[in-house]
Structure 1
Amino acid sequence: MADLHVLAAMALALGLGSMVKGATGIGIPVVALPILATFLGLPHAIAVQTIPVLFTNAWQVWYYRKVWPELAQIRLLFLGGLLGIPLGTVLLTQVPERVLSVFLAALLIVYIVLRVARPAFAVTMRAARRLAPFMGVAAGTLQAATGVSAPVSITFLHSLRLSREGYLLAVATLFAGFSLIQVPALLVAGIMTGPVALQGVLALAPVLLCMPLGAWIGRRLSARTFDVIVLGLLALIAVQLLVDALAS
């Protein structure tokens, strides 16, 4: 019976994370990963979630592909993200994780305060074009070093005031690229074994059920409500980072 409770909790976490992902572009790593890690341990949980994360982001890339011209000015963000992965791997061995967590949490808090104090704040597309490759490298570096790129990637994309569809496409494209690199890395590391990969495939069941529901809900959110939810998720990430730093 305990096993059924564990499976139910994991399915609920993945379903809720997928629903949030469908609505806002951020979901499984923020919502589901902490719960999965409680039952499986962090490395196992990361490997299991990688397949649903890859699927959900690939699905959103395809679904919102028609708004790709909106992202033409920041296309170097995605290339920079991939180039940042090896830098993050090096950084992971050089900088204490606690220092990185506190820095990232502070970065998020500053941005949230700025957006609350100045609701009209936005980065112009001209400035975004110049910043995109550097933000991409920074996001990829943080993804490899900490597993969390949102303090840079989501903060940057959110500040551009893209349309909801453009924002979701940008997030999905960046995270799909990260996942494509992470899967072979987990295989080489021996973490993504056959049974773990099977668990990741089975985890798609609650994802397939709940992600379309999240997308349906997201299409009915006002721009302001959508903005508030994304800021709330960024605040949740900041809290998680600070908790991790204090626990380490």
Structure 2
Amino acid sequence: MPNALTGFNTAMNESFVFLTLATTTFLVAGLVKGVTGMGLPTVAMGLLGLVMPPAAAAAMLVLPSLVTNIWQWLAGSSRGPLLRRLWPMMLCIVLGTLGGSSLLVATDPRWSGLTLGVALLVYAGYALVSPVLAVPGRVEPWLSPIIGLITGAVTGATGVFVMPAVPYLQSLRLDKDLLVQALGMSFTVSTLALAVGLLLHGAFRPQEMGLSALAIIPALMGMWLGQMIRTRLSPSRFRMFFLLFLGLLGLELTLRPFY
């Protein structure tokens, strides 16, 4: 009986620690998205990837990512024109994600964590440098599908869907509102495709779906807090600290298999 009681207490303590960690993670990730307009899946994958396999972390972020990105996508009035312009990219994101998701599920968590770390490092490095890019209109019809396919492959393999979609959409020189809406559309499509890919490979089960649903609440609370902070804090300074933090997180995940 004492052994059973000890085991029960240990399980309860572990559950409490996990729920606290998950709640804090999505609160922080939502806060980042509230301030910068993006970053929820990236932050959530980076933090959760420290304590669980990336495939499990990706399953947890599906519903909070989907809810917040649909909100971002539907907030504007240019859904139709953007979809007509970017549908080849969106289609290829789906194809690439479905193909790449098998790697996220099947790869040893140490090495999938390394891949995630590299993705975070690349994104943080690019965003800190922020090179000025502009895509000529004549190349967009054939470049968009290529960018979509690469983004999908990276999404499927790491659970992070910012590269190279974000730099590419920024290079199209959309105005601020259109860019935010285009990012919301890209992230929504990526999230749905990732959910389907994880489901097909048995990594998105009812247990993960329940945890993912619970994560919506702290994510939305974080977004609300982030939007309040944005009015009192320089977004550019916050973004710089966020990217430095993301780079350190990526470095930790990259080096972990070699400890």
How high is the TM-score relative to the length of structure 1? 0.74
Residues in 2 aligned to 1:144 and 1:246: alpha-carbon distance in whole angstroms: 21
Letter matched to residue 152 of structure 2: G
The more displaced of 65-74 and 143-152 is 65-74
Q: Does 1:243 align with 2:259?
A: no
Q: What secondary structure, in the 3-state scheme, does the structure 2 residue paired with 1:150 have?
A: coil
Determine the structure 2 residue equivalent to 1:113: 129
Determine the structure 2 residue equivalent to 1:16: 28
Residues in 1 aligned to 2:127 and 2:98: alpha-carbon distance in whole angstroms: 27
Determine the structure 1 residue equivalent to 2:168: 156
Bigger share in helix: 1
Q: What secondary structure, in the 3-state scheme, does the structure 2 residue paired with 1:181 have?
A: helix
Distance 1:137 1:43, change over 3 A: closer
TM superposition outliers: structure 1 runs of 4+ over 6 Å: 90-94
The more displaced of 198-207 and 183-192 is 183-192
Residues in 1 aligned to 2:226 and 2:79: alpha-carbon distance in whole angstroms: 20
Q: Number of paired residues?
A: 239
Contact 1:68 1:169 in 2 (8 A): no
Q: 1:85 aligns with which of 65, 73, 97?
A: 97
Superimposed CA distance per residue, residues 170-192 of structure 1 (whole angstroms, 9 cap, x where no aligned partner): 22211211221222332333322
How high is the TM-score relative to the length of structure 2? 0.72
Contact 1:36 1:45 in 2 (8 A): yes
User: How large is the Cα RMSD of the aligned pairs?
Assistant: 3.7
Q: 1:42 aligns with which of 54, 77, 89?
A: 54
Contact 2:73 2:79 in 1 (8 A): no
Percentage of pairs with the same residue: 26
Q: Does 1:122 align with 2:133?
A: yes
Residues in 2 aligned to 1:91 and 1:77: alpha-carbon distance in whole angstroms: 21
Residues in 2 aligned to 1:45 and 1:103: alpha-carbon distance in whole angstroms: 15
Q: Does 1:32 align with 2:41?
A: no
The more displaced of 235-244 and 101-110 is 101-110
Distance 1:192 1:123, change over 3 A: same
Q: Does 1:57 align with 2:69?
A: yes
Distance 1:141 1:15, change over 3 A: same
Structure 1, unaligned runs of 5 or more = 116-120
Q: Does 1:138 align with 2:150?
A: yes
Deviation at residue 45 of structure 1 after TM alignment: 2.4
Structure 2, unaligned runs of 5 or more = 1-11
Distance 1:162 1:99, change over 3 A: same
